[in-house]
Every structure is written in structure tokens, then in C-alpha cells.
Amino acid sequence: MPMPTSADLRDELAVTVEDGVATLWLNRPDKRNAVTLAMWRALAEHCRRLASDTGVRVLVVRGVGDHFCAGADIADLAAVDLVEYHRVNTEADAALAAFPKPTIAVVTGACVGGGTEIAVACDLRIADATARVGITPARLGIVYPAIALERVVRLAGPSATKHLLYSAEIVDSERALRVGLLDEVHPIGTLDARVEAFTTLLARERSLLTQMASKELVDAASTHGRIDPQLAARWSAEAAAGADATEGMAAFLERRPPVFTWAPGAATPLGPSEPAGS
């Protein structure tokens, strides 16, 4: 979808939904979309609501204007209770990471500090060549949230993570791609088309059962180094009871696009919760 202007959106963290794709817009372009305490709180609330919306198939997070997110708003941070800020920040981070369907951060320009935290809480990070990534608590004498740091280490490894944390340097899109903090980097001017094509593919042409099962299983393997047999058995039983596998194989043999119909049932976890071991 075309990027709206700030005037088109009413809130500093706004939501649009189109054809099964929900987009969370960080909407403070004059501040490079720096995040306030109120925005962290709204992020958790929106994730909970959208997680239970059966019409939402994919969640995208992006910034209005030229930047994804320049991090926490330091003026706001200095004016609030740091214990409360940490609680709200951690809750928002966990809610985004536990969103049960595919999540994509669309990264342009600055993706720094809290912006990187938001991006790594998503499943995938698709960027253009303007993207610049950094983790900068060393500039402020604070400690990066542990829940986010764990994800950075899993993506980029300990050495690259230490480099970013020790130096607070901002790295370009090429280096961020190389160390694993970005998944795709596209030429300037082509990002929106790629995001639209990819989200359409996920929302309309792929099995939601496979996506939700894969997300939970991959996250378990990444976090704990193994997949609990009961978790694997639960998803195997769900697949066996549903019609997506039959439809997928029939469509393949008949050389036609599949029409997948599986939807989460009452027993399928939909609400975000803090990942185990965080």
C-alpha cells in the first residue's frame, strides 16, 4: 500500500488494515519516529487486539516518512520513571515477538536503539539501501533490554552484537544484511513493491496453518535449542484434522493456486505472551 502521510493518520502509533495485512505505523516523522512511553504502551495493546482478529493474516511495522525509528525519545525517557518505562517497554517487546502470525519490519533510514528492538522482535526485516542500524545504549550509559539483546545475539551472533553495543556505531544496510540483522535489502524506490508482493503472497497464497505452526516451532528451537515433542504433536494433529494438506496437494497436482481454508480454532493460542526463558 502507498505510504500515508502523517496527516492521514491520527495517532503516533497508527493502524491500517488492508486485504488481511495490518500495518502498525510509527508516526512521528518530525522526530524520525522516536518512540515514547505512550507508543510502547499502544504497541502492546495493538498487538493483543490484532492477534485475535481473524481477518489479519500478516502484521507489518514501518515508519511514516524517511525513517523506521531513531530509538527512544530521550526527552520523554528523561521525564518518566525508568522502572515503569522498562516494564512497559518489555511488555511491548514481548507482545510483538509473540504475535502468532507472520510479522515484518519494513526498514528505511534510521533503525537505532529502540527501533532495532522493534525490528528484531519481528520475524523478518525487509529494508532498502538507506537503512542504517545501530544499538546505542553506550551513548547514554544505560543497559539494553535483555529480552531484545537475546534476539540480537540469536540473529547476529555474540561478536557482532558486542561490536554494536560496545561502540554504538551505526552500520549501513550492507553490513546489517551480512551479520543477519536484515533479511533483504532492496534498491531505493523498489521497497514498497517488494513488501506488497510479499505480504500478498503470505496473506492470500500460503497456508496460515503452516505459517503459525512454523513460527511457534522455529521460535521454540531458536530459544530452547529443541522443539518439545508435545508442541510438535499438537501441530501435527492440527494439520491432520484440517483440510489444508489435502487442498495443497490437490492444487499442486492440478497445477492451480491452492485455496487454503484453515483458521485458528478455540484451542489455538492467539494472544501474545512473553516467550519462555525470556
- For cell 553506550, name the residue: 138
Q: Looking at the domain 6-202, which fold is it?
A: 2-enoyl-CoA Hydratase; Chain A, domain 1 (3.90.226)
pTM score over 0.95:
no
- Chain mean position to CA 271: 15
Average confidence score pLDDT of the chain:
92
Express as a percent the part of the chain with pLDDT over 90.
86
> 67-81, 181-195, 248-262: which has the minimum mean pLDDT?
67-81
Residue type, 155: L
Break the chain into its structural domains and give their ranges: 6-202, 208-254
10 CB neighbour count, 10 Å cutoff: 8
Express as a percent the part of the chain with pLDDT over 70.
92
270 CB neighbour count, 10 Å cutoff: 17
* Confidence grade of residue 267 (pLDDT, cut at 50, 70, 90): low
pLDDT digits (tens, 9 = 90+) for 17-63: 999 999 999 999 999 999 999 999 999 999 999 999 999 999 999 99
* Confidence grade of residue 266 (pLDDT, cut at 50, 70, 90): low
Which three-class secondary structure state does DSSP give residue 269?
coil
Q: Which of 196, 219, 225, 20 is nearest to 100 (CA)?
A: 219
